[in-house]
Each structure stands twice: as C-alpha cells, then as structure tokens.
Amino acid sequence: MEYDIDVGDVKSAQAAVESLKAATDKAADGAGKMEEATKKAGRGTANFGQTALETGRIVQDFAQGGIGGIINNLESLARALGGGPGLAGVATLAGVAFLTLRKPVGEFFSSLIDGSNQVPQATDALVRMTEELDASKKRLKELGEQQTLTNAELAEYKKLGGEVLEQEKALNVEREKRNALDAQRKKEAAPDAESQKAVSEAVKAAGGVDRVTADVLSARPGATNAAQAQLDQVMKEQDAAMKAAGRNPSAVAGVRKQFARQIAEAQATLAKALQEAQAGASDLVAKALQGDQGAIRDLDRSLPGRGFGRATTEGIARDKANLAAGEEQKKRDDAELARREKATAERRAAREKEEAAAQAEEDRDEANRAREERRQQEQEARRMG
C-alpha cells in the first residue's frame, strides 16, 4: 500500500505538527473515557450486537479503503460502546490524527488485518548489488544536475562518487563469479561426446540395445517382484481351493469363478509392472546413450563389468590418466632403450677401435720384422760376396 504525504512548505508542516500534537493529546485523554465506556458495554448485553456490528464494519471498511475509510465509522463505534458525543468526537479526531501519519499507522493496521510485512530486500547478491548501484547512480545524477550544492550535498556527492566506483568493482567481481558458475553448470549439463561414444561401444560389445535393455530388466527384478508374488499367492489359493473341491464339478466351477477375477487383476497388475519396468529400462539405456552421466552410472551399477563405468566422467578421466601414464612410461622405456642402444653402439665402436689399433700395431710389428729380415739377408749377402 502506498502513502503519499504532501506537507507543503515549512510553516504549514509546523502547523500540521502542532495540530497533530493537540489531536494526540485529546485522543490520549479520551482513551480513558473509551475504556470506561467499553467496560459499561461489557456489563450489559443490550448493545453487544450493535457493538459487534460496528466493529465488523470498521474492520471491513479499513480492509477496503484503509484508515481513511473508517473515519466516519469511529463516531458510531464510540456510541455503540456506550460513549457520549464527546468521546465520539475524540475518536474521530484521533482518526484524523492517524490519517495525518497514515504511512506508519497504515502499515501497522495492515499488519493487524492480514499479517503483511514490508517486502524483504532481494536475497540474490547480484540483484541486490545492482539495485544499490543503480540507486547510488541515480542520486549522484540528481546531485550533479543541481546548479548549486550545499556543503552537505557536496560531501554526499563526493562520497557517492567513491561508493559508485567501489560498488561497480564489487558488482563486476560478483558477475565474474556468477558467469563462472553458470559456465560450469552448462558444461556439466552438456552432452559429452566422449561419454556417448564410450556408451555406444559398451552397448555394442554387450550385444546391442535390446540385449542390454533385457539385461537391465533382469538385473532389476524388484520392480515386478511384488506383482509376481501377488499372482503366485492367488494361484496358490486357487490350487488349495480346487484341491478341496475334489472331483465335484459344481464345486470346481465355483472355485474357478471365484478366483477368475482375482487372477485377472493380478495378471493385469503384473503386466503393468512389466511394462513400466521395460519402459524404465529402455529409458535408462536411451539416456545413457545420450551421455547422461546419472543414467550411465545407474547402468554401470545394474550391469557391472560391462564397460559402462569407463563411459562416466570419472572413467573417462581415469582412462585418460592411464593413457597418459602409459605414454609417459612408453617414453621412459623408449628413452631407456635408446640409452642402452647408444651405450652398446659406443662399446662396440670402442671395441672396434681397440681392435683396429691392435691390428695396426700388429701390422707395424710384422712390417718391422720383415724389414729386419731383409736387412739381415742383405748383410749376409754382402758378407758372402
């Protein structure tokens, strides 16, 4: 409910305050009279119906028209309570005083009638911060458009300038946080192509969609156990009744007629349960094929060891980690192999170098021996000649 108070200039405002004070004093003085009148009304029952009627009218008028709607009813209420003309005038005057302060008093009466309270501030941080920033900017603009400012307004203008900067900074930080959260939610909700591929491969390896659906249905017997147990119980009771009937055709026919409806209902219940279970299993497989992580985990729990766990986010991350670890291990193994091959080649080269050096040394020794033999032969020839 909105209350607009137009007091006017300062003088009229002061006059209104003085008038309100006088009215309030009179209302306080009349309160004792009203209390006494109420007691008089309570001691008798002659005017009780009229009092209740007037009170009901006042509450109804206030609910529809606010405090202004009950001004004219206050006099009749005072009379119905047993008060005289003076009390009625005081009650009306008090109502006028309340109307002058209609915003706080109106809110008070509204809370009494419908239990309403002021609308709470926005709980969303981003909305609240945006509203505060807009309010600061609006006030800053109002001050900036004025031709002159008082010292207080100038101080407020400077203060608001700094506050706007801080509010904009805080708002940007909050927006970044919100955008990051929204992006993460969208990322989590988006279908994962890797998961879809992994589920498709697992379904294919398990025998296809129909086979996986049937296996899920078999792995979840609880959905039809109750209905099957009900049918089994009815059939058991019929068998017992048929046994008791013996060979009496009339009794046998009576038993069959007696249990025909129960069996039909139990069979219908079982068929419905099977249909719902089939639909649930098909829906589970379909969602898993679409990359739904919840469905994939549920499918893995229903059919463990079928490879569906590798299609979950954790499974894919684990496979990637294992693949990366395998690649790193392969790199280390390749590096170790290369090191060993290099060392072997180096040893072979060193050995060949040593062998070549030894051969060269042997060749030199052989050449030296040959020269020495020729020299001795030449010396022997000269001595003989």
Distances (CA, A) of 300 to 69, 196, 236, 351: 70, 14, 37, 61
Q: Please state the domain extents for the chain.
A: 10-114, 125-188, 194-311
Q: Are 204 and 285 in contact (CB under 8 A)?
A: no
Q: Are 24 and 97 in contact (CB under 8 A)?
A: yes
Closest listed residue to residue 315, CA positions, set 197, 179, 180: 197
Instruction: Spell out the per-residue pLDDT of the chain, length 385, in tens.
Output: 333 434 344 344 445 445 545 544 554 455 455 445 445 544 544 454 555 455 556 555 555 555 555 555 555 655 555 555 555 554 554 554 445 445 444 444 444 444 444 434 434 677 888 888 888 888 888 888 887 888 888 888 888 888 888 888 888 888 888 888 777 666 655 557 888 888 999 999 989 999 999 999 888 877 788 888 999 999 999 999 989 988 898 898 999 899 999 999 999 998 998 888 888 889 999 989 988 888 999 999 999 998 898 888 888 888 888 888 988 999 999 999 999 999 999 999 999 999 999 999 999 999 999 999 999 988 888 888 6
- C-beta of residue 241 within 8 angstroms of C-beta of residue 259: yes
Torsion angles phi and psi, residue 207, rounded to 5: 110, 5
The number of beta carbons lying within 10 Å of the beta carbon of residue 186 is 9
Torsion of CA 344, 348, 350, 354, to 10 degrees: 150
